[in-house]
Amino acid sequence: MSLKTGHEYIASIEALELEANILGVKSADLTRHPLVKPSLQAVATTFDCAHSEENRPLFRVRSSLTGEEINRFNHLHQSTADLTSKVIMQRTCGNLTGCCFQRCVGMDAANATFSVTYECDRTHGTHYHQRFIDYWKRVQREDLVVDGAMTDPKGDRGKRPKEQADLDLYLRVVERKSEGVVVRGAKFHQTGLLNSHEVMVMPTVNLGPGEEDWAICFALPTNTPGLRFIYGRQASDTRKLEGSTLDVGNPTFGGQEVMLVFDDVFVPYERIFMNGELDQTGKLVERFAAYHRQSYGGCKVGVGDVLIGATALIARMNGVANASHVKDKIVEMIHLNETLFACGIACSAQGHPTPAGNYEVDRLLANVCKLNVTRFPYELARLATDIAGGLLGTMPSAQDLEDPVAGPYIKKYLAAAQGVDTVDRMKVLRLIENMVAGAGAVAYLIESMHGAGSPMAQRIMIARQSNLEGKIELARQLLGIH
Amino acid sequence: MSLKTGHEYIASIEALELEANILGVKSADLTRHPLVKPSLQAVATTFDCAHSEENRPLFRVRSSLTGEEINRFNHLHQSTADLTSKVIMQRTCGNLTGCCFQRCVGMDAANATFSVTYECDRTHGTHYHQRFIDYWKRVQREDLVVDGAMTDPKGDRGKRPKEQADLDLYLRVVERKSEGVVVRGAKFHQTGLLNSHEVMVMPTVNLGPGEEDWAICFALPTNTPGLRFIYGRQASDTRKLEGSTLDVGNPTFGGQEVMLVFDDVFVPYERIFMNGELDQTGKLVERFAAYHRQSYGGCKVGVGDVLIGATALIARMNGVANASHVKDKIVEMIHLNETLFACGIACSAQGHPTPAGNYEVDRLLANVCKLNVTRFPYELARLATDIAGGLLGTMPSAQDLEDPVAGPYIKKYLAAAQGVDTVDRMKVLRLIENMVAGAGAVAYLIESMHGAGSPMAQRIMIARQSNLEGKIELARQLLGIH
Amino acid sequence: MSLKTGHEYIASIEALELEANILGVKSADLTRHPLVKPSLQAVATTFDCAHSEENRPLFRVRSSLTGEEINRFNHLHQSTADLTSKVIMQRTCGNLTGCCFQRCVGMDAANATFSVTYECDRTHGTHYHQRFIDYWKRVQREDLVVDGAMTDPKGDRGKRPKEQADLDLYLRVVERKSEGVVVRGAKFHQTGLLNSHEVMVMPTVNLGPGEEDWAICFALPTNTPGLRFIYGRQASDTRKLEGSTLDVGNPTFGGQEVMLVFDDVFVPYERIFMNGELDQTGKLVERFAAYHRQSYGGCKVGVGDVLIGATALIARMNGVANASHVKDKIVEMIHLNETLFACGIACSAQGHPTPAGNYEVDRLLANVCKLNVTRFPYELARLATDIAGGLLGTMPSAQDLEDPVAGPYIKKYLAAAQGVDTVDRMKVLRLIENMVAGAGAVAYLIESMHGAGSPMAQRIMIARQSNLEGKIELARQLLGIH
Amino acid sequence: MSLKTGHEYIASIEALELEANILGVKSADLTRHPLVKPSLQAVATTFDCAHSEENRPLFRVRSSLTGEEINRFNHLHQSTADLTSKVIMQRTCGNLTGCCFQRCVGMDAANATFSVTYECDRTHGTHYHQRFIDYWKRVQREDLVVDGAMTDPKGDRGKRPKEQADLDLYLRVVERKSEGVVVRGAKFHQTGLLNSHEVMVMPTVNLGPGEEDWAICFALPTNTPGLRFIYGRQASDTRKLEGSTLDVGNPTFGGQEVMLVFDDVFVPYERIFMNGELDQTGKLVERFAAYHRQSYGGCKVGVGDVLIGATALIARMNGVANASHVKDKIVEMIHLNETLFACGIACSAQGHPTPAGNYEVDRLLANVCKLNVTRFPYELARLATDIAGGLLGTMPSAQDLEDPVAGPYIKKYLAAAQGVDTVDRMKVLRLIENMVAGAGAVAYLIESMHGAGSPMAQRIMIARQSNLEGKIELARQLLGIH
């Protein structure tokens, strides 16, 4: 079966006939919905790249399961070179879309599930691994987009799943049947969910005795009955409804966040990859998290490249590209962005094989990578704001630009360095606004903070992985003390 | 004449019958316009405070010009205590509105103009000072709001006003008549302009020979013929048009930014306070800037207090208020916010009288204050985002909350610590979103960067004011070298 | 009685005939000891300034106790202007010495004890306040230097005083006699102790029931029998013994740290200002700490000025003073240094009278001040190192400069910009080395971190003083929630 | 020929009979000199590791020139795995010595010279490459330590080599003979020079027409007549002469910096690898710098591990290891240290083959690595100082610990958590002092700033390597503008 083009991909999503609550309206025909379409186009880029001459070698890889050529987004990594290629592919997608392209979560969930099911089977005598392989072969062959769903609502953060006033605040099995189980609950922050064919569900924390019902991992088609989708708001989202792309900033691409409700949904056994094996839960969470923290060393770097480019461009348009302080700030932006990239590359290059045979990243460095991602994009955004100037917050609307009275004033007074088209300048300003204080900031800033786990989660993992006792021993040996 | 209440103030603005281009529509009846009204209400707070029991002593002061009791926002500072009270008043307004309350610029422009006109008269034998006093007495007596307009479009930043391809890119005199002059040009980033009775115009840079036509300072009523107003966009601005305050975040107050065009506007001589005196231009710019950089040590601190409070509140609602890392981050937010306040207080306490008799801030410390403001609010916003969680970027809309199907899901799954109302929790999250990535971020972040001059402007002033040669001399003396 | 000159001061210290353990040698004649002398000279500066034409007005003030003119270092602050003058005086001393001048601790201890004894008497019916006044009058009249001793050894930081394995790890009363008490213990980090006439001892933590014996505050002459002094090491301290000032860096001035042991020392009642009043202990600690944290907003700023000056001078000597990145880094140094100053000024200007009548600083802002001091000097040192160059760590010794073979090579190859004397250049480099990685770094970096309490102590105070509930209430009011 | 042990290495250095000016004394028998010996022992570690069971596989590698097993420090990297192993080997050495082990420079110089001589020959028809291969085969076979000498004195930094008042301020050819050339000049900051068998000299800047005499690259034995060595001072260096290791901090190992003078030294042609080929100079500088900037991502990380371990150990000894703020600071130290490591790994993993066949690092990422090294160790040092406490700057001397009177007081009052030996605690404090403000800080801080080029050098390279135009093009494409 051949790899889909972006166009074919969109048609396949259309065929799912998904419906969602968007801004209070029950909406169908989502692939044409102006709020949804930019996010769909961003995902489509991951398909088109597998067909473009330039990117094809990077985006295509031979499947370890089938031997067929597949899209790397559905690959089970077979080497540190694969892990590295993943990061570079993500940077490329960020470069082309300037936003979140949404297809990483499924790849990261699959790689984690692949190795955890293998280990689970060895410990518990279960048969999840082959079941997962069968499932994933189909995903690879049909070139599907899989959403990875981990984050539960969590209710009172000071309490465990089984202690919550409403037990559904962590997704759980509410009924066990002969052919499968019924689950209830919700998953938050589902990036790109409505652009996905499948959703793969994992627990969100390490679970303990008495929490077997929450220890469930499975995959379902997104058009399974009982799934409810409620669209998340983003800053300035409704600019996409205004009919002009100028004020949207990023004219073609965007992100998508969805709240997903499981209203007593049936899951057949052949779709279940964990079911009550408590000792596997923490492992699955950590392993998925590590892959996903690596991802941010690629995708956010790619978006950062666009922000740096836009910032350098507006500096040139404003006539200040050669001011030493401007050059210095742009070097700083590059330095920080490349530091993130270095972390993404390093945790890949230092990866290792799992018992199941696929490759895992170096977990310490992956967490270090993500912790930097919770900081540096904020500084890049601050520096971009510095260079772009106050118009980021005060520029008149695209509609006013079209107004016969106001429009000419805007064109006259927003002129900058000679030879620069004023509307082009406004486009660049709106692109930067999109990324530092608009819809794009949701992915570039808020998701950089919380996606793949909040900073404290990374700090805990860093503490665990760092072999502090070994370092203490180094000091002792140097001093000859015990 | 008595001080206006907020209600009387709004009526007085309504009476001006201003019109503006807003999102492509020529709009009148602005005081009822949902985009404008929150900003008007923020200004009204500065009036109501002069009538509230708690704040009256701070907001009222005796005029040095008339001996009458006036609103401190129209005061010419008579002591370092006055300068300090100004900062505390601004912090109070930030506390009450959680946004920019827009009335500082006129106060800062007046104090700068008062002393510069005095010195100009002594140097040039002009008579601007008395003219300004007469003008300002009326402002004080009628309790008016005055917008201060400084920032020209600037075109190619690498060129001087007289070198621009379009000479209007800096506002200038295009005709000189017997009763006054005609000006053409524009002023950008006019905070609160449509909520002002008057606009006071100043040059934006130090001017040199051949640039006499740009060396103009004057004041006009905002309803003067020939003034054109084009409303600036802010992130998520149209949420104010959606009919629910929940998604707006700040339910009552907001900011306002306007692009102001002077379409060959006549200015009578009695309204002119500088007209070609080149050597006074840089002084006026620097002095106004210093006052306005001081202001940020009050207003942004006040808004920061609200952000800190909202962050501590969401932590409590989420059940994590006692987590050590949460407490530590909140302490850091307080520390940074109080450092800004310390700078605002310090430049006030170290102020000095001008030859004209009013007090000026310590210019070095005022610039230090503002340079910190270009940094710390970004870190506060980052920390608030950290603590608030990913819902900042993914929470469903207020309309979905009202939806009979989606609403109950949202209420069920957004529940957090016991006893917390879910909708209250959503309100707090939307307030934080407003400040870190919504309409409020325009004032709290972008304006913190560029208002009263971009960071490079502060660095240049710090270099100039720091007596570096004196410091070199200290090192030399210590070492006994020459 | 007239104010001492530096010369008279040194004679008065000599008359105390103190002895100390210094580098393993029991040493007398300390005022001539090459390790001690630079520190003595730094203290002497505080006396000489009261006689110099330029600084006399700042350093002299009329005593609130006697009406006589005293050195401001012995003043009980009577206004916010006094608090501000204190900070400016400290900056001046830092400017003149480039190091710690050691006389602040006693001033800060006295101001805290003055108000706490007043309140203690009102609560407990004791008579400490008048006793302290009598004592302090003599200090003022005789123009004495008083060391303030607070920091106990603390043993296991996880345990309270009464829980320590060795109860002496916090200084305590071991015997109570008719005429006074006997104390045992130690005080660490005693800055300038051997240059002091008196030592004033305070508890180091808030004490509770069962810890009455530790709740002791008193003053003694430094030559009281039973006091043992052990000199603290500083980086590169023995360069002072090498006979050339070049490698010392700061040729004239330096700091001093002493470990003080109380070997069952008798304290007569007339020298005791607290004796078992547990509820006064935390107050005394906090109040002293607040004054001392303010101090750092003056003294470290003064030293920072010298470091900035030396850095600008070496840049000029190296021929790079006009490189934009060098200018930018120096502006950053100034900015950070002035931010510290702003905090020192702000907590002074926002001070308030105590019930006893002297003025206390704003405690929140004083803690904010010190917390910044634990950060910014490190960044100044880093930037100074950046500009000064690698010779900071590799330059040959002063002895080699004198060597007939090596000396000419050093002079030939260390030449830099034309017209610069090579030895002068070496002096500037050694001065910077002194401050960033030599003996001066003890005061400029390590003491900036830990003096007047470690950063965590400031964070705890900031949390306590910040009225977080009030900020939460601001958010609630804005949102109309409860 | 077998690889030397540390012992054999020391004997081989002893056989060179080098002499140096040290603190004004012409000194021979350097391998026994207490100032020199610790640095020699640090280098010896690189030999011993090739014989230890644990490290042998990492430190030994097969030579690409001879096929024999050699020490990796003399290897020409044949793959990205080799580049990565280099970084891990350096981290290991840092772990074992806690200081600079001095053997990296020659390795980095050799790898740069290997590829540049190859390219030079192709361009200029010269025969340097085979000559260098012959030379380096001997280095590999004899397991020699080679110092890499690049940094010229530079005189007036605002002037080029040929414009200096004294032309010798950059090392140059002063005479050309039939068998070779005579050079004059100096090289600064020569780390480990007196522990090296050979010194390899390179130009320090890109040279242009008229500067052919400065375009010289060659290698000489360190005992060549005419070489003069002047020992550099380090903070607290003379503690090594005091006879006790306690106050030294690092009891066994240390660093070494030497000023090297070429007093008209003859260099035979077979030792010359560049001689006037101007277009190769910049390339050699950049390539060497890139390798050496990579190195810092290993060696400083290894030293950082020791600092982290010592800091965690002192926290435990003080009884505060479980305080949340202490744990948080240690996690931050680890995070920063691993970020440096990630950069070191990333520039290795992204390396590429040169035309000559050995591997070069990714130059952009190597510069990013080093720029982070100019920042993070300072923050680690600051955090270590925070946790270690004020005793870092005030602890009495080792001699006082031995004193019969003072010693017992010190032991009594420096006791901390139960079960901790007081002298062990002092050792840990002195080790930390060594690294943050003592002799070790020369390598860990000052060299981190300036070694392999000052920060501005990295920023210039980052600007050059970052393809900013490509990033601008990304923004243009996204916006559809030209």
What string of DSSP letters covers B261-325? EEEEEEEEGGGEEEES-HHHHHHHHHHHHHHHHHHHHHHHHHHHHHHHHHHHHHHHHHT-TT-HH
DSSP A224: -
A299 is catalytic: yes
Q: Residue C94 to residues A61, B342, C80, C196: CA-CA distances in angstroms? A: 66, 21, 21, 19
- To test the contact with chain C by mutation, choose from B367, B369, B468 the residue with the greatest count of C C-beta atoms within 10 A, namely B468
CA distance C441 to C456: 21
Please check whether residue A186 touches B, CB under 8 A: yes
Tokens of D426: 């002092």
Contact C474 B251 (CB under 8 A): no
Q: What does the pLDDT read at residue B2? A: 83
CA distance B381 to A445: 11
Within 10 angstroms of residue C29's Cβ, the number of other Cβ atoms is: 11
CA distance D173 to D264: 9
A93 is catalytic: no
Q: What does the pLDDT read at residue A153? A: 97
Contact D395 C21 (CB under 8 A): no
D198 is catalytic: no
CA distance B339 to C345: 12
* The one catalytic residue among D191, D222, D281, D374: D191
Segments in D174-255 forming alpha helices (H): none
**How many angstroms away from the CA of A322 is the closest CA of chain C?**
12
Interface of C with B in 446-465 (CB under 8 A): 459, 462-463
Sequence-distant (≥ 6) Cβ neighbours of residue D216 within 8 angstroms: D171, D172, D173, D181, D183, D201, D203, D267, D272, D274, D275, D276
CA distance B173 to B165: 17
CA distance A129 to B456: 59
DSSP B158: T
D413 is catalytic: no
Active site residues of C: 100, 104, 191, 257, 292, 296, 299, 447
**C147: closest CA among C114, C107, C116?**
C107
Segments in C98-187 forming alpha helices (H): 104-124, 128-142
Q: What does the pLDDT read at residue A465? A: 96
B198 is catalytic: no
Sequence-distant (≥ 6) Cβ neighbours of residue A408 within 8 angstroms: none
Q: What does the pLDDT read at residue D2? A: 82
Within 10 angstroms of residue C200's Cβ, the number of other Cβ atoms is: 27
- With the C-alpha atoms ordered D467, D470, D472, D474, is the resulting torsion angle positive or negative? negative
CA distance D290 to D284: 10
**How many angstroms away from the CA of A312 is the closest CA of chain D?**
7
Please check whether residue C476 touches B, CB under 8 A: yes
Interface of B with A in 197-256 (CB under 8 A): 228, 230-239, 247
* Ordered strands of the B257-268 beta sheet: B25-27, B20-22, B227-231, B257-268, B180-191, B172-176
CA distance D471 to C55: 58
**C308: closest CA among C250, C383, C251?**
C383
CA distance C54 to D180: 65
Please check whether residue C159 touches D, CB under 8 A: yes
* Nearest neighbour of B415 by CB, restricted to A169, A320, A406: A169
For residue C250, list chain B residues with Cβ-Cβ distance below 8 A.
Answer: 478
In contact, C97 and C90? CB cutoff 8 Å = no
Q: What does the pLDDT read at residue C156? A: 95
CA distance A42 to A440: 12
Interface of A with D in 353-372 (CB under 8 A): 364-365, 368-369, 371-372
**Mean pLDDT of chain B, nearest integer:** 97
State residue B320 phi and psi, 5-degree precision: -120, 15
For residue C257, list chain D residues with Cβ-Cβ distance below 8 A.
Answer: 393-394
| Whole-angstrom Cα Rg for chain A | 23
| SS3 category, D275 | strand
**D375: closest CA among D454, D429, D465?**
D454
CA distance A395 to A279: 55
Q: Residue C166 to residues B440, C154, D406: CA-CA distances in angstroms? A: 57, 10, 18
For residue B99, list chain C residues with Cβ-Cβ distance below 8 A.
Answer: none
Ranges of chain C whose pLDDT falls below 50: none
**C157: closest CA among D415, D124, D361?**
D415
Single-letter amino acid, residue C116: V
Please check whether residue D352 touches A, CB under 8 A: no
**D351: closest CA among D87, D56, D122, D75?**
D87
In contact, A332 and A325? CB cutoff 8 Å = no
* The one catalytic residue among D120, D217, D299, D369: D299
For residue A328, list chain C residues with Cβ-Cβ distance below 8 A.
Answer: 324-325, 328
Please check whether residue A333 touches D, CB under 8 A: no
**How many angstroms away from the CA of A70 is the closest CA of chain C?**
50
Single-letter amino acid, residue B162: K
Residue A182 host element (H or E) = strand A180-191
CA distance C5 to A235: 67
CA distance A321 to A331: 12
Sequence-distant (≥ 6) Cβ neighbours of residue A407 within 8 angstroms: A400, A401
State residue B201 phi and psi, 5-degree precision: -105, 135
D402 is catalytic: no
**How many angstroms away from the CA of C95 is the closest CA of chain B?**
6
Tokens of D135: 């030379």
Please check whether residue B341 touches C, CB under 8 A: yes
Q: Residue B47 to residues B41, B77, B136, B141: CA-CA distances in angstroms? A: 10, 19, 18, 14
Task: Supply the pTM of this predicted model.
Answer: 0.98
Interface of A with D in 369-398 (CB under 8 A): 369, 371-372
How many residues appear in chain A? 482
Per-residue pLDDT of chain D (482 residues; tens, 9 = 90+): 589 999 999 999 999 999 999 999 999 999 999 999 999 999 999 999 999 999 999 999 999 999 999 999 999 999 999 999 999 999 999 999 999 999 999 999 999 999 999 999 999 999 999 999 999 999 999 999 999 999 999 999 999 999 999 999 999 999 999 999 999 999 999 999 999 999 999 999 999 999 999 999 999 999 999 999 999 999 999 999 999 999 999 999 999 999 999 999 999 999 999 999 999 999 999 999 999 999 999 999 999 999 999 999 999 999 999 999 999 999 999 999 999 999 999 999 999 999 999 999 999 999 999 999 999 999 999 999 999 999 999 999 999 999 999 999 999 999 999 899 999 999 999 999 999 999 999 999 999 999 999 999 999 999 999 999 999 999 999 999 98
D191 is catalytic: yes
- To test the contact with chain D by mutation, choose from B325, B326, B331, B332 the residue with the greatest count of D C-beta atoms within 10 A, namely B325
Contact A390 B156 (CB under 8 A): no
B100 is catalytic: yes
Q: What does the pLDDT read at residue A386? A: 98
Local mean pLDDT, 10-residue blocks, chain A (482 residues): 92 98 97 98 98 97 98 98 98 98 98 98 98 98 98 96 97 98 98 98 97 98 98 97 97 98 98 98 98 98 98 97 97 98 98 98 98 98 98 98 97 94 98 98 97 97 97 98 88
B1: pLDDT strictly greater than 80? no
Tell me the pLDDT band of B324, cut-offs 50, 70 and 90. Answer: very high
| Whole-angstrom Cα Rg for chain C | 23
* Nearest neighbour of D338 by CB, restricted to A84, A330, A368: A368
In contact, B48 and B6? CB cutoff 8 Å = yes
**How many angstroms away from the CA of C140 is the closest CA of chain D?**
29
In contact, C99 and C254? CB cutoff 8 Å = yes
**A335: closest CA among C421, D225, C340, D462?**
D462
Q: List the subunits that have 3+ CB pairs under 8 angstroms with B.
A: A, C, D
Sequence-distant (≥ 6) Cβ neighbours of residue D59 within 8 angstroms: D46, D49, D50, D71, D72, D73, D89
**How many angstroms away from the CA of D102 is the closest CA of chain A?**
18
CA distance D129 to D126: 8
Please check whether residue A322 touches C, CB under 8 A: no
| SS3 category, A268 | strand
For residue A325, list chain C residues with Cβ-Cβ distance below 8 A.
Answer: 324, 328
Tens digit of pLDDT for each residue in B404-429?
Answer: 999 999 999 999 988 999 999 999 99
**How many angstroms away from the CA of C119 is the closest CA of chain B?**
29
State residue B17 phi and psi, 5-degree precision: 55, 50
B470: pLDDT strictly greater than 80? yes
DSSP A3: P
Across C362-383, b (16+ Cβ under 10 Å) vs e yields bbbbbbbbbbbbbbbbbbbbbb
Burial class for C15, CB neighbours closer than 10 Å (0-12, 13-18, 19+): exposed
Sequence-distant (≥ 6) Cβ neighbours of residue B464 within 8 angstroms: none
**How many angstroms away from the CA of B185 is the closest CA of chain C?**
34
**A379: closest CA among C137, D88, B375?**
B375
B354: pLDDT strictly greater than 80? yes
For residue D338, list chain A residues with Cβ-Cβ distance below 8 A.
Answer: 364-365, 368, 462, 466
Q: What does the pLDDT read at residue C1? A: 57
Tens digit of pLDDT for each residue in B432-447?
Answer: 999 999 999 999 999 9
- Would you give the distance in Å from CA D238 to the centre of its chain? 22
Tell me the pLDDT band of B482, cut-offs 50, 70 and 90. Answer: confident
Q: What is the mean pLDDT of residues B369-375?
A: 98
Please check whether residue C41 touches B, CB under 8 A: no
For residue B320, list chain D residues with Cβ-Cβ distance below 8 A.
Answer: none
Tens digit of pLDDT for each residue in C275-310?
Answer: 999 999 999 999 999 999 999 999 999 999 999 999
